[in-house]
Amino acid sequence: MRLTGLMRIGVVALALITVVAFAVLTHVARPGERVSLLVTGGPVVTMDTNATVIADGAVAVNGTTIVAVGPRADIEARYAAATVIDVHGQIILPGLINTHTHVPMVLYRGLADDLALMDWLTKYIFPAEKATVSPEFVRIGTRLAALEMIQSGTTTFADMYYFESDIAEETRAAGLRAVLGQSVIQFPVADAATPEAALARAEAFITKWKDDPLVTPAVAPHSPYTLDGKTLQAARALANKYNVPLLIHLAETKDEIKTVQDAHHSTPARYLESLGVWSGRSLAAHAVWLDAADMQVLHDRGVGLAHNPESNMKLASGIAAVPEWLSRGMRAGLGTDGAASNNDLDMFEAMRMAAMLHKVATSDPRVMPARTALELATRRGAEALGLGDRIGSLEAGKQADIITVAVDGARQTPMFDPMSHLVYVSRGDDVRTTIVAGRVLMDRGLVRSVRQDEVLRDARAMADRVRVAVQQGAGSAAGAGGAASAK
């Protein structure tokens, strides 16, 4: 009896010791709240409304969402992560947002440069598109563009092109976030013989993708000069039926201003206002040629504007009044436009060009500081796309779209101000990590979500078909030009 009693006490004591020891060990192994990912060890440029920079910071992510941003010591003490990405020598910032592009056009990169807009379009781009745009073409082009964007730190893009559902599938496979606009245009194109067919295609695309967490479907009427009023109004009605954005080109060139003035006795912005096109979520690309009344309309309607400094310079379209937009409180972001007129998708270059262009245009180096250029590529771009509550800054509760940028090479040494370096020194090639919705798409420079060798092989093969198409198209265009000049 006594022995049995002692044994019982011993068993209970042993059990207690085991429980305590297990608790201690567990505590050592789990210093804090479990999260899925920590990005830690570099300056954090949050791009919140105060432009907070944390000198030695970290970002904690759980699932798709940022749960905390703060000093490294605090975050590392509070959280234990399944995956830790240590980024000493790199800046941590929100993923960049490209508010205007045509991603499959990377396959026309460098096809024709240094031409007047109409020659460039009619002798090269239109013949190439006519002969080559297909579901296969846009998929190969989207995979190439996704690889380039992941490598250069773009996590969200707004697109306007054909076969947008195929673009959406490749975007999802690559892991990027996007606002994708199915094009509507008056003349027959690869995916629609009529504007009615294009609108039907857009509606099918929107209903298929409207609940996707990464892809926001949209309708993209091409421009006020390539569509009639009836189709423009139908595009607006379609966008409002599903509460999705409408994407459009606006006031890109002086020729467009004259065309719309001759046909409708108005400016493009006010003509579209008269049709009700701005009555809902809208994103307008370029807006190079706006007068004060146009700006008032676009401001009052909350239209997001996509500024494309490189495309506007390369095609000699003009200089958009971006500092004035911002002083009026208009919503604006930054874009690359398609790679056929840029010739790349590097948003670091777009930031630097924007910062430089507006200084020289106004003879005032203060009008576009580095912080403003960086805001256009992050928080302001998100707001222009109507996604400001979800992305554009590193703050708890927002989506975990994060990049890191190396600043430890000769070109970046020394560094006094991370924001200055991001705009005036950094290049897309300096990006080391790209994360979208908590998924690591690139780690230490290695892209995980897209097969680089296959993507480049397919793109080069497609380029051979583009070359042949342009040679044949250029022959017929030259013939037409000869006939015109003979008149």
Cβ of residue 100: shortest distance to Zn ion, in angstroms?
A: 6
| Burial zone of 429 (CB within 10 Å; 0-12 exposed, 13-18 middle, 19+ buried) | middle
Residue ranges of E strands in 87-186: 90-94, 96-101, 154-161, 177-184
- Contact between 239 and 246 under an 8 Å Cβ cutoff? The reply is yes
| Rounded Cα distance, 371 and 355, in Å | 9
Pick the closer one to Zn ion by CB: 40 or 142: 142
Nearer to Zn ion, 281 or 307 (CB): 307
Nearer to Zn ion, 99 or 426 (CB): 99
Burial 108-139 (b: 16+ CB within 10 A, else e): bbebbeeeeeeebbebbbebbbebbbbeebbb
CB of 335 to Zn ion, least distance (A): 8
Residues 6+ apart with CB under 8 A from 85: 37, 38, 39, 40, 404, 433, 440, 443
- Mapping DSSP to helix (H, G, I), strand (E, B) and coil, where does residue 340 land? helix
Residue 409 Cβ, how far from Zn ion at the closest point, in Å?
Answer: 34
User: For residue 354, what is the enclosing H or E element?
Assistant: helix 347-362
Which one, 68 or 298, has the nearer CB to Zn ion?
298
Structure tokens at 382: 């998100």
Shortest Å, Cβ 252 to Zn ion:
8
- For Zn ion, the binding residues in 1-60 under the rule CB under 5 A are none
Least distance CB 445 / Zn ion (angstroms): 30
**Residue with the shortest CB distance to Zn ion:** 337
Please say which residue, 337 or 346, places its beta carbon nearer to Zn ion. 337
Least distance from C-beta 455 to Zn ion, angstroms? 23
Contact pattern from residue 253 through residue 282 relative to Zn ion, giving x for each residue in contact according to CB under 5 A and a dash for the rest? ------------------------------
* Pick 236 or 286: Cβ nearer Zn ion: 286
For 118-125, the CB contacts below 8 A with 24+ separation are: 120/315, 120/341, 122/477, 123/473, 123/474, 123/477, 123/478, 124/470, 124/473, 124/474, 125/340
Minimum Å distance from CB 76 to Zn ion?
44
Q: Which residue spans within 144-259 are E strands per DSSP?
A: 154-161, 177-184, 215-221, 246-250
To Zn ion, the closest distance from the beta carbon of 46 in angstroms equals 30
Q: For 29, left (φ over 0), alpha (ψ -120 to 50), or beta?
A: alpha
Which residue, 102 or 439, has its beta carbon nearer to Zn ion? 102
Strand 331-334 to 304-307 pairing: parallel
Residue 158 identity:
A
Tell me the site size for Zn ion, rule CB under 5 A: 1
- Binding piece for Zn ion, criterion CB under 5 A, among 202-210, 331-339, 382-390, 453-461: 331-339
Q: Smaller CB distance to Zn ion: residue 39 or 385?
A: 385
Task: List the one residue out of 105, 118, 96 whose CA is nearest residue 338.
Answer: 105
Q: Cβ 307 to Zn ion, closest distance in Å?
A: 12
Q: What sign does the dihedral 240-241-244-250 (CA atoms) show?
A: negative
Q: Which is nearer to Zn ion, 337 or 401 (CB)?
A: 337
Task: Report, in Å, the least distance between residue 50 CB and Zn ion.
Answer: 33
User: Helix (H, G, I), strand (E, B), or coil: what is residue 256?
Assistant: helix
Options 230-238, 330-338, 359-367, 440-448: segment touching Zn ion (CB under 5 A) = 330-338
Fill in the per-residue mask, 332 to 371: x = in contact with Zn ion (CB under 5 A), - = not in contact.
Answer: -----x----------------------------------
- What is the rounded CA–CA span in Å between residue 336 and residue 105? 12
Query: Of 337 and 430, which CB lies nearer to Zn ion in the complex structure?
Result: 337
Q: Give residues in contact with Zn ion (CB under 5 A).
A: 337
